[in-house]
Chain A
Amino acid sequence: MEWETVIGLEVHAQLNTVSKIFSGAATAYGAEPNRQACAVDLGLPGVLPVLNAAVVAKAVMLGLAIDARIAPRSVFARKNYFYPDLPKGYQISQYELPIVAQGHLDIELEDGTRKRIGITRAHLEEDAGKSLHEGLGAMTGIDLNRAGTPLVEIVSEPDLRSAREAVAYMKKLHALVRYLGVCDGNMQEGSFRCDANVSVRPRGQEAFGTRAEIKNLNSFRFVERAINFEVERQIDLLESGGQVVQETRLYDPERDETRSMRSKEEANDYRYFPDPDLLPVVIHPEFIERLRTELPELPDAKRDRFIGAYGLSDYDAGVLTGSRELADFFESVAAGCGAPKLGANWVMGEFSAALNRSELDLRDSPVSAAALAQLLCRIEDQTLSGKLAKDVFEAMWAGEGDADAVIAARGLKQITDTGAIDAIIDAVITANPAQVEQYRSGKDKVFGFFVGQVMKQTQGKANPAQVNERLRARLLGD
């Protein structure tokens, strides 16, 4: 039987506010355990939550960017369950009336076509703390620094049909929240993570199969692997006459498998009800319109502009708009050297390769956009050949100064003076009469020998095009 995979993702993105969603404590990552947990975060007797307005603005921006409906009135609800890292015994979330509903995101498939993925809703909630097990013997420690960090949970429709589509969607969403500046997207620190609802059904069947929910996937690679594993597991199960049970599963990257965490029967009844400590969130149309005007250019619009304005290919424009930082970097380079295509090739080629090699973030690059633009100017004005430019770039990367400084220090300036090149060519011709004879008798291949000799004499500084032209003239003409 042929099986079809059906996936829906619930992405949790931490909103990058300075303080928490319902308290004044800081949200910064990495502090000593429980140093960023105030009375409200600890759920002490008598404390009350107060909504951080910055959180609302960020959720609305996200809603606008996915073309969703912004609820004029949304309501915080309590999700009740006991867990040691959940200080109040309930999580403040949104349930029946989320702040954002009915949006969508377009992803690019491998065959180049685009697919629209529905987004059911996006709601605000507070993050829980963390349980710590290391270095505490038989005890479990609780760190509540993360408790109360604002989250937006973005729930997709079950529109995704493969692990690759799921990854493409998640990457697109990841780029989007970072474009918007609402989430830092740091997946190692858990700022952007997802739960995947996975099921399979015989191709052509309309009804969904029973799904399993894989919790807490915090890298694109894990999303892809976990889904692929889970799809195979479910198919194997069904084909051997078994049944998929509705349950929550955990992905173990060490063993590359998913394992059952709890079944539906063990699932909590969360007893949601509106939180009486918080007023409904009322959003006026003027607020939405103001934020709309403040929206940055979004990835799809930017890609289309790059294609139109810079004449880039669909692929190149897609790569360069993959993150807002890279797109901004490219645009600075393109503006600085006046050669967008050359800029695109360098940013995606030498520059990205160097970043990868050095395992550096774009913002930590030793070569700035302005410096790279200057280097490309030297290619454009023929000071440097493409090959020499790569050497100069390596030197710049190593901290030897900007392009002009490296060129001067290494005497790499390209020789474009016709007289000087002619003199060298003449010397080479005089010194190699046998090869001249061969060439003149039709052995075209010998031409390369002469080019090599000339470049050798000039330590590669001669302009190759000029060398070719002058050499051919000299060999044939005289």
Chain B
Amino acid sequence: MSEIIIRAIDLWKGYKVDGSVTPALRGTNLEIRRGEIVALFGKSGSGKSTLFNLIAGLDRPTKGRIEVDGQDLEGLGDRGRTNFRRLKLGFIFQFFNLLPTLTAFENVFLSLELANQPKPDLALKALKEVGLEGKEHRFPNELSGGEQQRVAIARAIVKRPSLILADEPTGNLDTLTGNHILELLTRRCHEDGTTLIMATHTRLTCRNATRVLRMVDGTISEETSNEELPH
């Protein structure tokens, strides 16, 4: 059995809306092992993005604890959490979230620079791997949606992180492009031994996962196989 890379224990998170607290997570527990490709399946508003933000250290839980690589995320402090995102975490968003003022190359290189590995050839190689050779100097608005998501994948994988969080990575793409993107992403994670957690509300995404977690109303209620998922 490989070691546990993420452990969430009794995780609670609430948001204040009109004066009252609405819980987004209600005592979530989670264990993910190194190299696993996990699909976090759930409807919109079930708490998937909240959980991702907590794992990434962008947000802090109301109650509970998250351990990454055996270390308490809260105990790392702001600097420690920033370093964790720089070195160990890759983030892929539904709306790509590329920096509009940077070219495809620069968006990828940014990730390397932050990880203190400013090697341009690595960025070029990553772009080539995602099939964007020749489009390195295009700005995001000069690329299609699929191409933008490929840049986002290159940005995430280029620094060889131990964990990639992909929040609805195909949610904004057509089925064919989505399939290509998923295949690319899972293949790269398999090859590098990177842990991948994908938040999704479609079955399609779950097909590529080795393990599927189901999220309902802020709790991971059951662990299910791909075949058991509703059509």
A pairs with B: no
A interface residues with partner B (beta carbon < 8 Å): none
